[in-house]
Structure 1
Amino acid sequence: MVNSNSKQWSSATPGYIIFLVDQSGSMNESYAEGKTRSEFTALVINRTINELINTNMDGEKVKDRVFISMIGYGGSSSLAVDDIRSDYLSSFADNPLRMERLKKKVSDGAGGLIEIDEQMPIFIEPTANGLTPMADAFSFTKELIEGWLQKKPDNPAPIIINISDGLPYTGDSIDIAMNNAISVSKEIMNINSADGNPLIFNCHLGEGQSHSFNESENELSDDQAKFLFKISSKVPESYKQAAKKQDFKTKPESRGFVSNADAQEFIQFINFGSSGGSDKIA
């Protein structure tokens, strides 16, 4: 398909971002800046939504150029898949869960930094409990995407950003859970829309050798990275510039994933995935 995944987000044809958030028990392990994986993930998603709100301000009004779903898996019960919140951007802006005071370092204008208090709207709280029903989360996502495209066939192809710290696990065999997740993710990546196929980008939080945007499974040394490769979309041309902007190197067949991401890579990857491509906001 020519120029797939290149349609601009606009108020007339909003984009659709789905954050899939692993909320399993292991997300309680420590990660960065004194926070657990789950706390850091919530922080990054909250910041990302706030940045999207700021980018889409028109005077006092937030333009609804994107619809966001946050889907948690694990979390509320061992095998739960929860629609934490699905709303247009302006609704997030108008109705945060709460406001949190954060310390932020800003320039003092004389080459130094000063710390100021900043109020940040919170839309998702950290949760870490239960197993990792990733395939079920993908199945629910597939239903959401099919419903969206039925109503909005001319809109940009949806983007799924899956954030997890491990392989799928539902209490039985990990191989079966992995195969189920691979199977559903492929079904999603084969859905057709006027703007091409939905994109799945994966960010894995862990420790060990980092891999990102690889072109072949043969370049990967561990099962985790190989699994992520299988469930990630090839990065379309329209997103290559967004990847470069975040200091990621892409090649012609690169898939959109990062394995064993540290805090900086995690933030850069979410910026890449939520950008709607490089300059695609109209």
Structure 2
Amino acid sequence: MYEQTFSRTNPGCIVFLLDRSDSMKQPWQSSGGTLAEGAARAVNKILLDLCVKSAKEVGGRARHYFDVGVFGYGACPVGGGEGVEPALAGQPIVPIPQVFDNPLRVEAEQSVDAVAGSRLPVWIEPVFGYRTPMCQAIATAGEHVYGWAASHPDSFPPIVINITDGMVTDSPFDGADLAEWAARLTSIETRHGRTLLFNIFLSPTVAPEALFPVTAADLPEPGPELFAISSTLPASMVANARGARVEIADGARGFVFNAGLATLVWFLEIGTRVADVRDR
């Protein structure tokens, strides 16, 4: 299981759930920006990485190796009020060539280690407001992930990565609590395994990080609840991470608690680096 490669015949599906609640306006550690700005920057970087990975030559157009989605939950800048809405041009799941061709804009990269003159496409804007309807976000994403998996039975299972800084505020939602919505999502499968759900809890202050834990022991709230809904890392992903000199124990969950900006970007890289890209 979880050994399928990404190809144009069998593309992968990667979905980001992005907390846009009011607390995301807090300054983020020493990053020089807010949680919302840092999270949006990290997702934009990973979208760019997926575009680059999908291009066979430097400067070439991205090929259809991935379908991607970003769902913001909390403030809804398009529809207004609180809820969940797609953040990639209003579309739920988008082929990577379409993402590649349609950034909102391109701006100078702001990170400390950025190369002079480097520029970064922007697809996702920082947004914050209202509460944290995480159950609704998982339920909404699950509807689209289900349809995608049904249309791609031979693909690597969908990967859903939830980025949040707060406790869920809508559990139960539509008769089910957070654990049940997560279980429904991860029950969606292809022939190569079940959907993977990974979670990243952001901390606005410098605090000890828990990286890929195997137990929820000693985690303060909402750590145990998020740990419980996080998928165990498949062997193929553990092997890739260890190949990149990342120490991960067998049975580790796809979860990070109190992540700083550098850890968020690193986690997203590990969480989307699961299989080779094949030109098929």
> Residue 103 of structure 1 contacts residue 117 of structure 1 at CA under 8 Å; is this kept in 2?
no
In terms of Rg, which structure is larger?
1
- The correspondence for 1:270, drawn from 260, 268, 271, is 268
Instruction: Give the corresponding residue for 1:239.
Output: 237
Relative to the length of structure 1, the TM-score reads 0.87
Instruction: Give the aligned length.
Output: 264
**What is the Cα-based RMSD across aligned positions, in Å?**
2.0
Which stretch of structure 1 is more off in the superposition, 155-164 or 47-56?
Answer: 47-56
Which amino acid in structure 1 is aligned with residue 75 of structure 2? G
| Residue 150 in structure 1 maps to residue 150 in structure 2 | yes
Instruction: Give the corresponding residue for 2:83.
Output: 80
CA distance in 2, matches of 1:17, 1:115: 28
Q: Which has the higher strand share?
A: 1
> Gaps (5+ residues) in structure 1?
107-113
- The correspondence for 1:281, drawn from 254, 277, 280, is 277
Instruction: Give the corresponding residue for 2:137.
Output: 137
Instruction: Give the corresponding residue for 1:223.
Output: 221
> Residue 103 of structure 1 contacts residue 118 of structure 1 at CA under 8 Å; is this kept in 2?
no
> Residue 156 of structure 2 contacts residue 192 of structure 2 at CA under 8 Å; is this kept in 1?
yes
- Dislocated runs of 4+, deviation >3 Å: 103-106, 245-248
Instruction: Give the corresponding residue for 2:117.
Output: 117
CA distance in 2, matches of 1:245, 1:261: 22
> Residue 9 of structure 1 contacts residue 15 of structure 1 at CA under 8 Å; is this kept in 2?
yes
1:201 alignment partner, SS class: strand
* 1:1-282 matches, cutoff 5 A: 4-31=1-28, 32-59=30-57, 60-76=60-76, 77-85=80-88, 86-102=93-109, 116-170=116-170, 176=172, 180-206=177-203, 207=205, 208-217=207-216, 219-244=217-242, 248-275=246-273, 277=274, 279-282=275-278
Which amino acid in structure 2 is aligned with residue 151 of structure 1? S
Q: C-alpha displacement at 1:131, in angstroms?
A: 0.7
CA distance in 2, matches of 1:201, 1:58: 28
Which stretch of structure 1 is more off in the superposition, 152-161 or 95-104?
Answer: 95-104
Instruction: Give the corresponding residue for 1:111.
Output: none
Which amino acid in structure 2 is aligned with residue 118 of structure 1? S
> Residue 211 of structure 1 contacts residue 225 of structure 1 at CA under 8 Å; is this kept in 2?
no
Which stretch of structure 1 is more off in the superposition, 56-65 or 26-35?
Answer: 56-65
Identity percentage of aligned residues: 26
